[in-house]
């Protein structure tokens, strides 16, 4: 892949709360479902965004990065930081428990999004 292609690669970032899995005993399947909920919700809410249209126009080449946040405070802090700089996202709050579980961004150019997530590790 050329540097020019890498600069325009659209990526969706998904951040799951690791504490729900490790400390609160949520099953891995439930965590995967939270990521799916957040991803689908943000794509639907921003379905007319040019980046979303382009991202969904090539289903075989969608790129997602699934990361782990330490807990609710980190997830909310990330949401606040993204909001300040105008990055569209969905903070998924599981109901009826009212528990924030996941954050997913609108797909965007990797080069413009990755800096917001560099301190997070891949979800394992």
Positions of the chain with pLDDT under 70: 1-7
Which of helix, strand or coil describes residue 10? strand
% residues pLDDT > 90 (the chain): 93
Give me the pLDDT at residue 7, please: 47
**What tens digit of pLDDT does each residue of 86-118 get?**
999 999 999 999 999 999 999 999 999 999 999
Q: What is the pLDDT of residue 8?
A: 81
Position 13 scores a pLDDT of 98
Q: Model pTM?
A: 0.92
Contact 64, 11 (CB under 8 A): yes
What was the pLDDT predicted at 25? Answer: 96
Q: Which DSSP symbol is given to 25?
A: -
- CA-to-CA distance for 123 and 62, rounded, in angstroms? 18
Give me the helices (H) in 14-105, please.
18-22, 28-45, 50-56, 72-85
Straight-line distance from the first to the last Cα atom of the chain, in angstroms, rounded to the nearest whole number: 27
> What is residue 1's predicted lDDT score, i.e. its pLDDT?
46
């Amino acid at each position: 892949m050329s540097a020019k292609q890498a600069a325009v690669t659209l990526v969706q970032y998904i951040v799951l709360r690791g504490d729900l899995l490790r400390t609160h005993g949520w099953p891995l399947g439930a965590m995967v479902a939270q990521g799916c909920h957040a991803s689908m919700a943000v794509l639907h809410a921003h379905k007319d965004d040019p980046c979303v249209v382009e991202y969904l126009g090539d289903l075989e080449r969608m790129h997602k990065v699934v990361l782990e946040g330490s807990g609710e405070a980190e997830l909310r802090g990330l949401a606040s930081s993204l909001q300040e700089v105008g990055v569209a996202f969905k903070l998924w709050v599981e109901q009826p428990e009212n528990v924030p579980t996941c954050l997913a961004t609108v797909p965007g150019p990797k080069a413009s999004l990755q800096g917001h997530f560099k301190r997070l590790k891949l979800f394992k």
